[in-house]
Structure 1
Amino acid sequence: MFDASLVYFVGAGPGDPELITLKGYKILSQADVVIYAGSLINKELLEYCKDGAECHDSAYLHLDQITELMVNGVKNGKLVVRLQTGDLSLYGSIREQGEELAKHNIGFRSVAGVSSFLGAASELGIEYTVPEVSQSLVITRMAGRTPTPELESIERFAAHQTSMAIFLSVQGINQVIAQLSKGGYPDDTPVAVVYKATWEDCQIIRGDLTTIADKVTKAGIRKTALILVGKFLGEEYHYSKLYDAEFSHEYR
């Protein structure tokens, strides 16, 4: 069913082992070689692997070593899976891995996963898009070791005052809040920090721009958490027109 001449990049989902896609599960259960993204991957997912599968933790491997494992697996006729957190399209680094594989004339396929920003929404029971409150979602991160383009700073995005999901930035929560405030969000803007969304040890911290940083610091959360910002977290809500009795069925 799957082509062993290719490497399969599989999105593992946000943490809950049941939130891997069915296709991802099928590939993982048939894989001969699995290279997984360290502690970002719930180890329970590896229980789906067949007996005898080689499982390699990539946390301490550099790109050349990861490439070598993938290339050797394919050349030996093995089905190779690169298991990465969430969905591959967000901060996934698959392009650079794909380019290294191409040097060996090896292609790849991507299997979509459930991103942690979706897992966080399910934990909170919220929608990022609320009628007449917010109809857009900004997904971004604070500049760190990986810089961000000047036009994509948190401060500039904050000027829109729409829903935001901020990845890879909780370690700098004070700087994030400062940029959000400087960009235009009012002090009473709701904020939620979701640590390890959908994992058994998930934590949710709520506050506003004036309180959230202290709460996060006291909780000792410094990684593996999303910062969610915007009025979508508040009490304001308006019914959509989708199920209005007067709304055309064509749009259902």
Structure 2
Amino acid sequence: MIVHFVGAGPGAADLITVRGQRLLQSASVVLYAGSLVPRELLDECPADARLVDTAQLDLDRIEAEYVAASDAGHDVVRLHSGDLSVWSAVAEQLRRLDALGIDYDLTPGVPAFAAAAAALKRELTVPTVNQTVILTRMAREASAMPEHETLANLGRSRGLIVLHLATHLIDEAVAELLPNYGEDCPAAVVAFASQPGEVILRGTLATIAAQTKEAGLRRTAVIIVGASLAAEGFRDSHLYSCDRVRAL
């Protein structure tokens, strides 16, 4: 018996990986986050698969599902939104499976920031403009941030910042980023990336908070701030530069 953790991607059902889709197609038990995972993905499951919505379950009850499946000799697919490597709440589940001696593996998914970049039709790492992408979040009621991981500290590099789970705190985010980035720094908010209700806002640090509030965005969105969002006239990447190719 094994638990397959699968990243479902940012929302569009056809953005799941082929491996993730195949695991769903052969699953005996599927645990999924009902409020975040596209319902169409469950259509991939066998007709007799046990489907469990974990939206209202705590860790103890989720663990009980793993134990029951293990006792029955049934493999489990644990379907999470986005990608498993960031803000997936997978770490605490893996810790419990280790303690239980239950095997598991992880299949990555398309992360929200990648879907947002695709929606914006932008590469986030542009030569000589931005070569660093910082993925972070803000917290008031959720899990606390480490005290040194403030936006003021992270922003000193002027790397491109991607803020998850923070649209409801956008005024605070802008205030913390302004000293390092300036009012004219390009900014964008992408909500429901890859989904039918996708919303794309483009502006600067001076305007993006008002745009976000006017659009009524409070969740399922990322805030992106950095010069590469509006970069023009930049140098070609070395990988495909004419000088490099001629030297081969």
Query: Is the contact made by 2:82 and 2:111 (CA closer than 8 Å) also made in structure 1?
Result: yes
Tell me the distance in 2 between the aligned counterparts of 1:26 and 1:48.
Answer: 8
Moved over 3 A (4+): 248-251
Partner of 1:231: 227
**5+ unaligned residues in a row in structure 1: which ranges?**
none
For residue 216 of structure 2, the aligned residue among 220, 227, 240 is 220
Query: Is the contact made by 1:31 and 1:79 (CA closer than 8 Å) also made in structure 2?
Result: yes
User: Percent identity among equivalent residues?
Assistant: 39
Tell me the distance in 1 between the aligned counterparts of 2:246 and 2:110.
Answer: 30
Tell me the distance in 2 between the aligned counterparts of 1:247 and 1:238.
Answer: 13
Tell me the distance in 1 between the aligned counterparts of 2:81 and 2:224.
Answer: 19
Tell me the distance in 2 between the aligned counterparts of 1:187 and 1:147.
Answer: 28
Q: TM-score, structure 1 length as denominator?
A: 0.93
Aligned positions of 1:181-220 closer than 5 A: 181-182=178-179, 184-220=180-216
Please, which moves more after superposition, 234-243 or 222-231?
234-243
Partner of 2:157: 160
How much is the aligned-residue C-alpha RMSD, in angstroms?
A: 1.5
Matching residue's letter, 2:107: V
Query: Is the contact made by 2:126 and 2:231 (CA closer than 8 Å) also made in structure 1?
Result: no
Query: Is the contact made by 2:32 and 2:80 (CA closer than 8 Å) also made in structure 1?
Result: yes
Partner of 2:74: 78
Count, aligned residues: 246
Query: Is the contact made by 1:14 and 1:116 (CA closer than 8 Å) also made in structure 2?
Result: yes
CA deviations 1:113-159 (Å, max 9, x no partner) are 11111111111110110011011100111133211112211111111
Tell me the distance in 2 between the aligned counterparts of 1:32 and 1:73.
Answer: 9
Q: TM-score, structure 2 length as denominator?
A: 0.95
SS in 1 for 2:129: coil
Tell me the distance in 1 between the aligned counterparts of 2:243 and 2:203.
Answer: 38
| Cα offset, 1:76, TM superposition | 0.6
Tell me the distance in 2 between the aligned counterparts of 1:245 and 1:101.
Answer: 52
| Cα offset, 1:162, TM superposition | 1.4
| Cα offset, 1:250, TM superposition | 9.3
**5+ unaligned residues in a row in structure 2: which ranges?**
none
Partner of 1:146: 143
